[in-house]
Structure formats: C-alpha cells, structure tokens
Structure 1
C-alpha cells in the first residue's frame, strides 16, 4: 500500500472517479485541482494548486510516493491554455518529483490523441509512431517524452496511459474501439503501483473491446487483464444513432473528430 497518493485534476471526470476507486491503494490520498475539490474524508488531504505555479507544485508533490497525474487541459484549446497546463505543468510536476524527498511512481494520463491521425485500419503497439491530431495531442506526446527523459536520467518510473474513452459506457460507435470501463482503469492503476519494476511503458487505455485497434502485449508483465468489452453496448448505440459515414473522421481516424478540428485561437 502506498503511504500517500497524489491525484491531480481531482475535480475532473476521471479525478472524481479515481477519488473513490483508488481509495484502497493508499493510506492517504492527496487531492488537487485549481478549485472544486471539497469535503475531505478522514483519509484525504485537499491541496488547491495551479500546475503552472512551480513552487506550489513542488510543495504539492513533496512526500507523495505515488502520483496519478490527471490534471491539465483535457480537450483541444488555444495554445496558451494548452502550454500553461500541459507543457509547463508537466515540466513542473517532473521537476517536483526529481526534487522530492520521496521518489514517486507516476501514472501519466496521456491520450489516444497522441496517435489520433493513424487510420482505424492500422493496429498500433507501443512502438508505433506518434501522430497527434491537435495541440492537445502534441502536449501529450510532450508529456510522454518528459516521462521518458526523467526515467532515463533520474530513474523516475512512469506509466504513460494513452487513455481512449473512459466513461460509464460508449457514447458513439468510435468508442466501441476506444472505451475503457472504470473498473478496468482502476485495475490498471493498481497493477502499475504493485508491479515490482515498472520502467516507463506506453500503455493503451482501453477495455477488452472486440474492435480494438491497440496491442498491449509489450506490457503483459503488468499482469493487467481488462474484463469489460464495449461490444455489449453496440445494440444500444445502433438504436440511438446511425454509425458514421465512411468518410467521416469518426470512421477514418483513430482520433475521430479531433482530426477535423482546426487550430483554436484566443
């Protein structure tokens, strides 16, 4: 069991899920976001922090032996917004980890948008080239590179999870390939913190979907066995909406509609 687990982005959708789902992993869970986190339980600490504030991030990370880094900009946005949260913020987090009196093991919430321009007809593994589908995707590629460098140079272990679509159920037909259930996500994080030696792997964050585009054989050593399959929701989706047309980005690219989005300006 971890002594102190930090969850950044604790007021976001994934953060709220993890606040409950990861409770068994640590004696104390430190919850952080710029705002919106309230009502600490007896095993929780709340620390409001802007990831762009280097000194504040160093204080936030100090003493934590595990970090689940969900914080930052979570969708496409103008560059200044992406840079502040996902570029400067990631650098600040890793510098804080380097300087901490306890070297933490880190879960970095990367994204399928780091490889979004790959076609859906291509099966990807950890060695596949990154093909980001927007500025947000570029920031996730940057985060994976930072994790790699801090591992090679300083021995900080990080699991970079290219999260697909983590919702209670798939919202569209594309998500039949990318969906990850909350219980499979929690099980993955548990294995990341329990495995004796982690390294700095790339992991595709998806359940055992019949139509998956992703191959996780290189991280079999984690012992993660996802249990759920988005195929169980196909009939419900078919009743709610038509599948996308063959030329629709949601049917062509792994990143879906992000590939058709323009550059967001202020």
Structure 2
C-alpha cells in the first residue's frame, strides 16, 4: 500500500511514542497524536483516554493508518490492565472499523511468550535455534496476557471486518540496552522506526505477527516475518555487551529471570509508574 498520509499515534506521550514522534516524519508520515497525558509542544494533540470513545473516534476519523502504542506497558492489577489494555484496544479497533481505517500497527510484546525458555548456546544462534513466530504463547504477566488478547482481537478484526494489522512483539526499544538480557531483545529507535514504517506500508499483510528487535548478535528470535514485510534492521547491541557483562555478569541458568525469555517479568514484574494512555 502507498505510504499513509496521516498516521494516528496513540500513546504518543509515552517513551516509545516520543521516540517515534521524532523519527517517523522522515518517512513521509504526517502524525496525529493521541494520549491521556498532554504532549508538550503539541497543542493539536488529542488529550483523552481510550475509554473516551467519542474523542477516540474523532481522532481516528480521516486517518490513513493507526500506530497503537497506548496502554500500560508493565505489570499492574488486572482491573487496570483490563480497562487500559484490553477494553482500550477494543475501543481502538471499533473506532477503526467504524471510520473505515484499514491498517493498524499494534504494539504487542515479547511478554506474550515470556515463560518460554531463553535459547542457550554460542552466539550468534543457528537459525534452527531461534524462537519461531509460531511458538505457543506463554504470557508472564497480566500485561503479557493483554497482548495475547490484542493479537487475537487483531485477527478477529481482519477475518470479520477486513482491518489489517501487523502485531509487533516489541523487545525493548531504548536508546541503548541497559541489561545483559536486553542485548538479545534490543530494538534501537532507528530500527523501531524502520520496522513501524515497513508495517505501515507493506501490502497484503492480513494479520501478520512479527518480532521487533534489531539485528543483534545475541538475538533470540527469528525475524523472518518482519523481513518479509520489508524490515531491514541495521543496528546491533553487541557494542554494549562488554560493559554490561562486566557490570552485571553472565546469565545464571538457575535463575528464572535469566532462563526465561520474559526476564524479571516472570518473578518480580515491574509496576507501571505513569497513568495509562
């Protein structure tokens, strides 16, 4: 499909949303911003909760595509996850259906398979050792569970209503990795923008699930489906490996935080600190 003229970005005030606000316009996308929190320097942004279906539908109206980043991005009590991530995502898809928007890029998460054992072996892993996209889902938290729901909702809206989605199982998108685990799942902001642009513009995607990380030497999962939609990662976390390993040590396979893909989410999941978008 041609590059969308207008992309609605939900969760635009969050960490990932802030990064993408600075990077995606270079790909020709005009961004429309939506978040529960005001966005400094963006008076045109819509400040509303996903539960405000009237404001949400008005924001969706006239958009060519949606980059859905809103929601709680760490663990929280189930009621909060239900309202923000589950009901909020349903509101988003209903608005897209009602307004005729046919492309959504959904921020899913690696935590949908958080209890999956982390691959072990010498890096780089052989292709057969990488975690495939059809690995059975094993969420590590209510947060991970909400992303399982979001992926299934995306499939339903494709099958029933023709709304296409790329569900991106994001690893960790920060300026640089901050832990040894993150060396395997890091998505650089530049690669994040490249991946989201590919997801916004690829043709005939139906509902496609992809892993979101850079071309890390220590990568755990298979990027085949991401490359199939046109994603070509350029960055690698390996330059940060010596410092992080010297500071934190090598992973201990007896520690569930090291032996499971979800890391600390499987034992002491971090609580969210910001109000949900």
The alignment's TM-score, normalised by the length of structure 1, stands at 0.92
State how far apart, in whole Å, the 1-side matches of 2:176 and 2:117 are: 23
Listed as ranges, the gaps of 5+ residues in structure 2 are 120-128, 272-277
Tell me the C-alpha RMSD between the 2 structures: 1.8
Higher RCO, Cα 8 Å, sep 6+: 2
Provide the residue aligned with 1:4 in structure 2: 6
Provide the residue aligned with 2:23 in structure 1: 21
Matches within 5 A, 1:159-178: 159-178=166-185
| CA 1:27–1:116: 2 relative to 1, 3 Å | closer
Query: By how many angstroms is 1:26 displaced?
Result: 4.7
| Residue 256 of structure 2 is aligned to residue 256 of structure 1 | no
| Residue 70 of structure 2 is aligned to residue 60 of structure 1 | no
Provide the residue aligned with 2:239 in structure 1: 232
Query: By how many angstroms is 1:245 displaced?
Result: 2.5
CA contact (8 A) 1:4 1:26 kept: no
State how far apart, in whole Å, the 2-side matches of 1:57 and 1:243 are: 46
The alignment's TM-score, normalised by the length of structure 2, stands at 0.89
Query: By how many angstroms is 1:190 displaced?
Result: 1.2
State how far apart, in whole Å, the 2-side matches of 1:25 and 1:51 are: 27
Provide the residue aligned with 2:96 in structure 1: 97
- 1:156-203 CA-to-partner distances (Å, cap 9, x unmatched) read 111100000111111111111110101111011111122222221111
Matches within 5 A, 1:22-37: 22-26=24-28, 28-37=30-39
State how far apart, in whole Å, the 1-side matches of 2:29 and 2:198 are: 17
Of 177-186 and 46-55, more deviation after overlay is shown by: 46-55
Of 129-138 and 187-196, more deviation after overlay is shown by: 187-196
State how far apart, in whole Å, the 1-side matches of 2:60 and 2:26 are: 20
Provide the residue aligned with 1:188 in structure 2: 195
